[in-house]
Amino acid sequence: MNLLEILSSINSFVWGPPLLILLVGTGIFLTLRLKLLQIHKLPKALSLIFSAKNEGSGDIDSFKALCTALSATVGTGNIVGVATAVHAGGPGAIFWMWIAAFFGMATKYAEGLLAVKYREVDANGQIAGGPMYYIKNGLGEKYKWLGALFAVFGIGVAYFGIGTFAQVNSILEMTSMTLGVNPIWTSAVVTILVAAITLGGLQSIAKVAEKIVPTMAVIYVISTFGVLIYFADQVPAAIALILKSAFTPTAAMGGFAGASVMLAIRSGVARGVFSNESGLGSAPIAAAAAKTEWPAEQGLISMTGTFIDTIIICTMTGLTLVVSGFWTTDLNGAALTRAAFMEAFPIYGSYMLMIGLCLFAFTTILGWNYYGERCIQYLAGVKAILPYRIVFILIIASTPFMKLEEIWVLADIVNGLMAIPNLIALIALSGVVVVETKKYMDHLAEKKKLK
């Protein structure tokens, strides 16, 4: 067996039915305990993005915390990940992305809430939070090993998963296809930019994220909307195909090998989680740094990350792929999405996609640098942060020598392993989530009375 076959076998085991059930099951469990909070509190959550008071302890305001989390969340998974999901599982994979995202919103809410409730201040005077802290402080010292396990896997994702290879490889592939630039030169530029920003720590990353994230999301949504207008007559049929393919096998056609319903579910959920990171435990690391006195308030703001990432951005990509018909070819990854864009905009399509993908991928690198930094700090203290950053930068520089297939499979493996300790903690601390939610809702009701 070669390396790819070995990694694929491990990946099939890690992302087997037990983890998929645990991921979606945790979301369903929290949805029921929180009484469909992601539906009736979504308008409030969206308004809080801009209206949160930013009172209480913390390092950055709530909007910057969301942008930092979104910078890590909205990445190549929204472009390349959706394409690989559709290529493997057919259009039905998009429906299962929606399902995973709907329940994932409750999961992301709980993660953000617990991150603020159980956060600490580190030796440098900065806020430290995330699953390792709500495991240690919420479940008790005897479960500290579970938090350490999360931190180890978190560093693995930062170094070898979402944080580096998957993002840089997509940037290199896209700039090479569009501009004909040698990947070595592109990698050198990305490495220098990443080094310049990440060595400045959270404040530097948050400042960049606050400016880039809203801009890149708007640019990409407008671009994909343009493609959908071009293929407007195909949109109803595309939606019908997505719904039909979610429950019936997709037949082989053109370069598409065909897909079973189970493959559509697995592809949709796995790529959906890769994209929105609900249940992985990554976003609460950024949420913990938010200036707020109400854990549930930051939970609501965190919840919007999954809505923006999957329900809006991934849906736009998925519809673009289906309406264009290129999903039936043997194209995959960024090349598949690029073909759809170029069909609608032959001259500018490739450039539009390149700008969106490069911005998405670059900000994800920055966000995951911070996540890994918090994980290494939990394991080895603040003295380990600088060595971690240096290794991270060196890994970014080495990306041109890795293969796409191996990168995605490795990313999936470490993602899955990272989710397990976090999901255990979310289920165990669900009672705390319910109590904190009631406190905040009572506070809002009281405030309304006084007006």
At residue 244, φ and ψ (nearest 5 deg) are: -65, -45
pLDDT at residue 451, rounded to an integer: 65
Among the listed residues 303, 299, 300, 297, the one whose alpha carbon sits nearest the alpha carbon of residue 277 = 303
Domain with 186, as residue range(s), is 9-441
Mean pLDDT of the chain, nearest integer: 87
Terminal alpha carbon distance of the chain? 69
Q: Which of 301, 282, 350, 287 lies closest to 105 in space, CA to CA?
A: 301
What is the model's pLDDT at position 58? 64
What's the pLDDT band for 116 if we cut at 50, 70, 90? very high
**Domain of residue 225, CATH code:** 1.10.4160
User: How many of the other CB atoms lie within 10 Å of CB of 451?
Assistant: 4
Q: What is the pLDDT of residue 390?
A: 93
In a domain, 4, yes or no: no
| Residue 410 and residue 7 in contact, taking contact as beta carbons nearer than 8 Å | yes
Is residue 332 assigned to a domain? yes
The verdict on residue 59 lying in a domain is yes
Residue 81, pLDDT score: 81
pLDDT at 34: 96
**Greatest Cα-to-Cα distance within the chain, rounded to the nearest angstrom:** 69
Q: What angle do CA 341, 191, 69 make, to 5 degrees?
A: 65
Mean pLDDT lowest for which of 272-286, 346-360, 399-413?
399-413
Q: How many domains would you assign to the chain? A: 1
- Tokens representing 401 are 């020598």
> How does pLDDT run across 377-427, given as a tens digit for each residue?
999 988 999 999 999 999 899 887 766 677 778 777 887 888 999 999 999
- Is residue 448, in this structure, part of any structural domain at all? no
User: For 157-179, what is the mean pLDDT?
Assistant: 84
CA angle centred on 364, ends 97 and 268, rounded to 5°: 15
* Residues in the chain, total: 451
pLDDT over 80 at 311, yes or no = yes
Q: Is residue 451 part of a domain?
A: no
> What local confidence, expressed as pLDDT, does residue 52 receive?
67
Tens digit of pLDDT for each residue in 133-158?
Answer: 999 999 998 999 999 999 999 998 89
**In this model, does residue 446 exceed pLDDT 70?**
yes
The tokens of 232 are what?
């407007």
pLDDT at 428: 96
- The stretch 67-91 carries a mean pLDDT of 80
Instruction: State the pTM of this model.
Output: 0.88
Instruction: Classify residue 1: in a domain, yes or no.
Output: no
Which of the four pLDDT bands, split at 50, 70 and 90, describes residue 115? very high
**How much of the chain, in percent, has pLDDT values that exceed 70?**
96
CA 390/CA 394 separation, integer angstroms: 6
What pLDDT is stored for residue 273 in this prediction?
A: 77
What whole-number distance in Å separates Cα of residue 88 and Cα of residue 409?
A: 13
Instruction: Please write down the HEC assignment for all residues of 130-198.
Output: CHHHHHHHHHCHHHHHHHHHHHHHHHHHHHHCCCCHHHHHHHHHHHHHHHCCCHHHHHHHHHHHHHHHH
Contacts of residue 75, defined as CB under 8 A and 6 or more positions apart, other chains included, come to 162, 166, 167, 275, 360, 361, 363, 364
318 domain-assigned: yes
Judge whether 327 lies within some domain.
yes
- Which long-range contacts does 129-132 make (Cβ < 8 Å, 24+ apart)? 129/284, 129/285, 129/287, 129/288, 129/289, 129/374, 130/154, 130/281, 130/282, 130/284, 130/285, 130/288, 130/371, 130/374, 130/375, 130/378, 131/281, 131/284, 131/285, 131/421, 131/422, 131/425, 132/375, 132/378
What local confidence, expressed as pLDDT, does residue 269 receive? 85
Could you please report the per-residue DSSP string of 381-392? -GGGHHHHHHHH
Query: Rounded distance, CA 25 to CA 2, Å?
Result: 34
Q: What is the pLDDT of residues 288-303, one digit of tens each?
A: 888 888 899 999 999 9
Q: What is the mean pLDDT of residues 364-371?
A: 87
**CA 33 and chain centroid, separation:** 24
Q: What percent of the chain has pLDDT over 90?
A: 39
Name residues whose C-beta falls within 8 Å of residue 292's C-beta, 6 or more positions apart in sequence.
52, 53, 54, 55, 56, 58, 62, 116, 298
pLDDT at residue 51 tops 90? no
On the 0-12 / 13-18 / 19+ scale of CB atoms within 10 A, 56 is middle
The most confident of 53-67, 73-87, 276-290, by mean pLDDT: 276-290
Span 9-45, pLDDT tens digits: 888 888 777 887 888 899 999 999 999 999 999 999 9
pLDDT per residue as tens digits for the range 230-243: 999 999 999 999 99
By C-alpha distance, which of 301, 298, 296, 300 is closest to 436? Answer: 296
